[in-house]
Structure 1
Amino acid sequence: MSISTPDLCDEHGDAVNVLELPLRHYGGHKNFHGEVVTIKCFEDNSLVADTVKTPGHGRVLVVDGGGSARRSLLGDNLARAAADNGWAGIVIYGYLRDVEEISPMPLGVMALGSVPRKTEKRGEGQAGIALEFGSCTIDAGNYLYADKTGVIISRKNLLES
């Protein structure tokens, strides 16, 4: 199902928050949405790796990497695992790598940019917590909607009748 973030903003007004970041699309799906799963990590994607290897059930993984451009938090192997396990998308407040390999994958992927250096694996990070970036607070269980225009967050599923 294709969504329009401008139409959802018009219809729901202050019930949605706009993520104010210059995110770029990297995956094969430029239009995606789903219930949010949250991870906060810094230059260590151990929790991202663990999470994308579990059933996604059409959800969207939102990763707060602190905006660091020093290490990538997602590469082609993890993006492939996410697509294979039914995740709708991954939104990263940080950077990724393997851009050419990720671009055709049937997955929504957005990040600030790309960097070739891989992440450290220290087993650090937090899952299921409230994230604050891009002028938004994003809680696990919120709903995220993304298209070529932008990304919006809602506390409820806007597509349910």
Structure 2
Amino acid sequence: MSIKTTDLCDEFGASARVLLPIFQDLGGKPDFQGPAVTVKCFEDNSRIKELSCQAGAGRVLVVDGGGSDRCALFGDHIAEDLVRNGWAGVLVYGYVRDKAVLRTLPIAIKALGVTPAKSTKRNEGQVGLNVTIAGQTIADGDQLFADDDGVLVLDASRVQGAA
């Protein structure tokens, strides 16, 4: 990644919305940048599975799982789909599993942590909603940046300024 979050904070000031530092790096890469695709789901990964099978085109999957630690919203199979389909990264306000495999994949995965329990499939969840996680609201299409220093969001209208 060529653009550092620290440089973006310096350049954009308060309009660079920094997420609270609550995420762990669980993928094989520490950084991502790209437009957000938001999904809101609680203990059901049906929408995540559907999205992982679509062309990512360098986008970042932003999952609002409500912070639940009762189950993982995805593991190695979905992560492998995300890599295969060209997603830039995943930000999960929730938990994932298969940490040992996730660390070997060439994708950035930031989540609250890991748990071995799998999610249910009730065909629930919504795509494209504004989600509020880690102190910031993220809209579908907002530009996300993440590296070892943290995660930040720029409004979609600022994308040209960050490119």
Give the structure with the higher percent helix: 2
Over the aligned positions, Cα root-mean-square deviation in angstroms equals 0.9
Alignment partners' CA distance in 2, 1:2 and 1:70:
36
Q: TM-score, normalised by structure 2?
A: 0.95
1:9-158 alignment, distance < 5 Å: 9-155=9-155, 156-157=158-159, 158=161
Alignment partners' CA distance in 2, 1:22 and 1:141:
22
Alignment partners' CA distance in 2, 1:98 and 1:128:
27
Alignment partners' CA distance in 1, 2:14 and 2:149:
18
Structure 2 portions without partners, runs of 5+: none
Q: Which amino acid aligns with 1:22?
A: I
Q: How many residues align?
A: 160
Q: Which amino acid aligns with 1:61?
A: L
Give the secondary structure class of the aligned counterpart of 2:162: coil
Shift of 1:110: 0.5
Contact 2:22 2:134 in 1 (8 A): no
Contact 2:8 2:162 in 1 (8 A): no
Question: Runs in 1 of length 4+ with deviation above 2 angstroms?
Answer: none
Alignment partners' CA distance in 1, 2:75 and 2:108:
14
Q: TM-score, normalised by structure 1?
A: 0.97
Shift of 1:104: 1.2
Q: What is the identity percentage for the equivalent residue pairs of Structure 1 and Structure 2?
A: 45
Residue deviations 1:72-104 (CA, integer Å, cap 9, x gap) = 001000000000000000000000000000101
